Structure 1
Amino acid sequence: MDTSIRIRKGGADDVPAMLAIFDSAVGWLNGKGITAQWGTEPFSSRPKTVELVERVAGEGVPWIAEIGGVPVGTLTLTPHPGEYVAAADEPESYVRFLATDARFHGRGVGAALLAHAVEETRRRGVSLLRVDCFAGSEGRLVAYYEGQGFTRTEAFVVGDWPGQVLERRV
């Protein structure tokens, strides 16, 4: 069986697979006691979240990581952040909704998707790649992005959700 990670361009038809990956990630996070990041309800059971995923996928380019033809991870690259983060004062690519199916954690899926985001950003002639993430849980996710070559910029809070914006020059 082929265990290599293949990344392909996604589209609207991939939203159900993306939601399944997010649902799996929510379960994985909850199993680790992390409920503040993405909540406790599956994405697919929240109509407003489903609409947001559909909208973001339509505004940008979803990318799907597959192993053996099975969708195992996703991210969407958009030309701007969500409404809770100010846009950069230069062209940028923004990583939205990065997630790995829980069954494939530890296989380098997230790192492969982020490396692909760097290459896509560079291919588009853009030199700034940004992402934001949950800054709670002792900053483990922030540290993950730093390990992927990103540098912290501004922190923010939405309601009681602590976030951190990070950037990487490509």
Structure 2
Amino acid sequence: MPSISIRPASTATDDGLRLLRNFDSQLPFLSSIGSSAQWGSSSRSDQEDQRAKYRGKVESSERGWDHAWSRDWVRAYIAEVEIKREDLSSELLELATDTSESTTAAVRLPVAGMILQGQSADYVRDIVPENDDNDPFIYVLYLLSDRRTAPHGKGAGAALISHAKDEARKLGIRRLCLDCWRGNDNRLVQ
């Protein structure tokens, strides 16, 4: 299995759209197990308001690298694996971030993404309250793989969570918070 590297998300590689396409890649699977109620069945990457929202998350992340943690703090990351160009289908080559023309060169294949922020999402504030300056947390807003890249991204979620823990430690923050949908009679989490 190739090793997973994690890089900051970038507007230069349109990672906001990449994050939305990770959502979209999950929709057929969720439908196949009867879990369409989680995110619906409509593509998010086709919705301009969603594109603007995720482009904004990546822009905020890029602007904030020299800022300390606050409620407005945002960091976005992309997990990638390095794979020989010849080992990938043409569809996966289109997803790769390395655009060199060499047929033997390795390419960087984005397999997952993560967004961390200094406050919980609006829809979970009754469960995860507003951040407390005396005991702050980092909220994992987004952690998704791209199903199209399976099985190349095996372990990417664990690598991103480990990265989030390291980020929290660097900031002196002891807690990570996140939410997980448990609909569909708990079949998604079994």
Structure ID, larger Rg: 2
TM score, norm. by length of structure 1: 0.73
Q: Structure 1's 12 and 82: CA in aligned 2 closer, same or farther, altered over 3 A? A: farther
Deviation at 1:7, TM superposition (A): 0.9
1:111-150 → structure 2 map (5 Å cutoff): 111-140=158-187
**3-state SS of the aligned residue for 1:96?**
strand
| Equivalent residue number for residue 99 of structure 2 | none
Q: Does 1:63 align with 2:77?
A: yes
Task: Pick one of 115, 118, 124 that aligns with 1:79.
Answer: 118
Q: Does 1:91 align with 2:136?
A: yes
- Does the CA-based 8 Å contact 2:16-2:57 persist in structure 1? no
Deviation at 1:100, TM superposition (A): 0.4
- Does the CA-based 8 Å contact 1:56-1:78 persist in structure 2? no
| Equivalent residue number for residue 5 of structure 1 | 4
Deviation at 1:6, TM superposition (A): 0.9
Deviation at 1:32, TM superposition (A): 3.0
- Does the CA-based 8 Å contact 1:121-1:129 persist in structure 2? yes
Give unmatched runs, 5+ long, in structure 1. 144-170
Alignment identity in percent? Answer: 33
TM score, norm. by length of structure 2: 0.66
**3-state SS of the aligned residue for 1:44?**
coil
Cα distance in structure 1, aligned partners of 2:188 and 2:178: 11
Report the residue type matching 1:112 in the other structure: A
Deviation digits for residues 119-150 of structure 1 (CA, Å, limit 9, x no counterpart)? 1111111111101121213335556xxxxxxx
Deviation digits for residues 49-85 of structure 1 (CA, Å, limit 9, x no counterpart)? 3233234442511010001211110010101111222
| Matched residue count | 142
Q: Does 1:46 align with 2:85?
A: no
- Does the CA-based 8 Å contact 2:20-2:51 persist in structure 1? yes
Q: Give the RMSD, CA atoms, in angstroms.
A: 2.2
Q: Per residue, is there more strand in 1 or in 2? A: 1
Cα distance in structure 1, aligned partners of 2:172 and 2:178: 18
Higher relative contact order (CA 8 A, sep 6+): 2
Cα distance in structure 2, aligned partners of 1:87 and 1:12: 29
Cα distance in structure 2, aligned partners of 1:101 and 1:115: 19
Give unmatched runs, 5+ long, in structure 2. 61-72, 83-107
Q: Structure 1: which 4+ aligned runs deviate by more than 6 Å?
A: none
Deviation digits for residues 25-57 of structure 1 (CA, Å, limit 9, x no counterpart)? 223322333211111011102233323323444
Deviation digits for residues 3-22 of structure 1 (CA, Å, limit 9, x no counterpart)? 21111111333212222222
**3-state SS of the aligned residue for 1:135?**
coil
